Structure formats: C-alpha cells, structure tokens
Amino acid sequence: MFKEDLDFLEPMFLHNNSNDFHIIIVNQTSEDKLLLSNNPKIKVINSFEQGSPASRNLAIKNATKDICLMSDDDIVYEPNLLATIQDAYLEAPDATMISFEAIDEQGDLYTNYYPEGQHNKETLKKIYTWVITFRRSVFRDHAIYFNHYFGVGSIFRGVTEYVFLRNAYDKGLLMQHVSRTIVMHPNVSSGRNMGSDNAIYARAAMHQRFYGNLSYLWLVKYIYFLLRHHFISIKDISSKFSIGIKGIKKYKALKADHKIDALHDY
C-alpha cells in the first residue's frame, strides 16, 4: 500500500535474482502517490480500490505466465526459489495448485504443516497466501478468484486463503502440498490470532458458507477450543460466542440479499 519506489523488492529477493521472474505489483494507493516501473519484467497496477482480495484478483487477471506465485511485501524468499517451484510442477505435472512451506525469523516452520501429498478440506487450512502457486490458465478457466467478502479490508477480515482454495477444491482441481520451504514470513499474521474478534467473525461466516447451519455447532466447539488453548478466558466466552453468531447472521443476510453468486465466486 502507498509504495512510491521499488526498493521493497530488494530484501524480498535477497537470496534470488528478481530478474528471473515476471512480477506484478498491485499498489493500493491514492492518485497523488503512484508507483512506476521502467523494468519490462515488473508490471505495476496502481489501484484505488481497497481490500486484499481486490488486489490479488487484479494480479491474477493481469498475469501472463503459466505458473503464478502469490506474494506479499514483508517476506524474504529462500534460495533457489525458481528451481524449487519448477521442479515441483515437473514432478507433479497434473497438479493445478501446489503449496509449499514457510519459516519464521527464527527458522522454524511457520505452522504445523500436514505431510506432503494431495490436499483435502482440512489440510488447506494450514496454507497461507505466500506459499500458494497455481496454473494460471486452469484457475482462470474455472473462475477461481479471491472472494471480495473475505480478507483484510473486507466485511469478513480473515480466512482469505481458505475460501479461495476451497472454491478450487470444490471444483475438483488437483491440489498438492510439497514439503519444501520457499519463503520466510515474520512471525506475525492476522490469520494467526485465532481468538480475535475479526478471526471469530470471519471463521463463523466461512463455516456458514461451506457447512450451512452446522456452523452453529462448529462455533460452540471452536469457542471451547479457544478456551482450552488459552486464546480466550472464561469471561470472554459470552462475548466471543456473540461475535460468531453475528458473523453467521451477516453471511446469511448477504445470501438473502441475492449476493450468493458473488460470495461463491468473487
């Protein structure tokens, strides 16, 4: 957001050559703060629309290469990034999406990833944006884009990646996980604060999206999970449960307003 030069790319590609890649930067900004590029391999889109889903969809729609790698501006790629991704697709030629792994500043795995292999509904929950790669043409043909209602700057500020990937999974696309590290991400992420109001509100809405009224049962179990793992305290139970109910009701209201197509796609 509000970038005015390309210097932020240098630390991102500290261990790689950025010229090995074709880069699309979506810069959410204002008309008085525009980002420009003289490098033919770096395409800049200055967007005046807010929200991370909008930016990511612009990037997907303007991509031209066979394989897309989602990114963010606070990461550092691990050495041999290009070869790692290319090798994975050579080894799994039928895969339409391949996820990799991330580490934090201490060199520890960013999350407790599931083992290598084909994704299912549960394993997708461990995948954050910056380890997602996919075949551009397949995702475009199936209209797989980020849902405008889920993500930073949206109504439901969370579970962005899961809704995106779950839509691909539900359309029968072959999605693989590879246990190779490609990126370092700081040990702070909006997606990790599971006990926050935003997380509960978004996750409750997401479960309503995919599981209907079973989302109420899920919410009870989730509040218990948060309490058991000390994400919330006993005095928080009532307020956190109410926030989840509000998320479910908000999603149902959007559905009732005939926005179901936008919710299911983008």
pLDDT digits (tens, 9 = 90+) for 94-131: 999 999 999 999 999 999 999 999 999 999 999 999 99
Distance CA 252, CA 199 (A): 18
The pLDDT, as a whole number, for residue 140 is 92
Same domain, yes or no: 77 and 175: yes
| Average pLDDT, integer, range 57-70 | 95
pTM recorded for the entire structure: 0.89
Domain boundary among 184, 214, 240: 184
Distance CA 264, CA 199 (A): 20
What percent of the chain stands above pLDDT 70? Answer: 95
41: CATH: 3.90.550.10
Distance CA 232, CA 84 (A): 39
Domain boundary among 155, 184, 213: 184
User: Is residue 256 pLDDT above 70, yes or no?
Assistant: yes
151: pLDDT confidence band, cut at 50, 70 and 90? confident
Same domain, yes or no: 151 and 233: no
Measured in residues, the chain has a length of 266
User: Is residue 262 pLDDT above 50, yes or no?
Assistant: no
Same domain, yes or no: 150 and 234: no
Least confident of 90-94, 184-188, 208-212: 184-188
For 203-239, how does the pLDDT look when each residue is reduced to its tens digit (9 = 90+)?
Answer: 999 999 999 999 999 999 999 999 999 999 999 999 9
Torsions phi, psi for 38 (to 5 deg): -100, 0
The pLDDT, as a whole number, for residue 189 is 56
193: pLDDT confidence band, cut at 50, 70 and 90? confident
Do residues 99 and 68 touch, judged by C-beta distance below 8 A?
A: no
Number of domains in the chain: 2
What percent of the chain stands above pLDDT 90? Answer: 81
Same domain, yes or no: 60 and 160: yes
Question: Which residue range(s) make up the domain with 259?
Answer: 197-264
| Average pLDDT, integer, range 41-45 | 97
Same domain, yes or no: 223 and 100: no
Residue at 205 is within a domain:
yes
Least confident of 22-31, 150-159, 202-211: 150-159
Same domain, yes or no: 178 and 214: no
Domain boundary among 184, 219, 254: 184
Please state whether beta strands 23-28 and 42-47 pair in parallel, antiparallel, or not at all (unpaired). Answer: parallel
Same domain, yes or no: 63 and 159: yes
Residue at 2 is within a domain:
no
Same domain, yes or no: 129 and 208: no
Same domain, yes or no: 122 and 62: yes
Residue at 1 is within a domain:
no
Same domain, yes or no: 178 and 229: no
Residue 232: CB atoms within 10 A of its CB come to 19
51: pLDDT confidence band, cut at 50, 70 and 90? confident
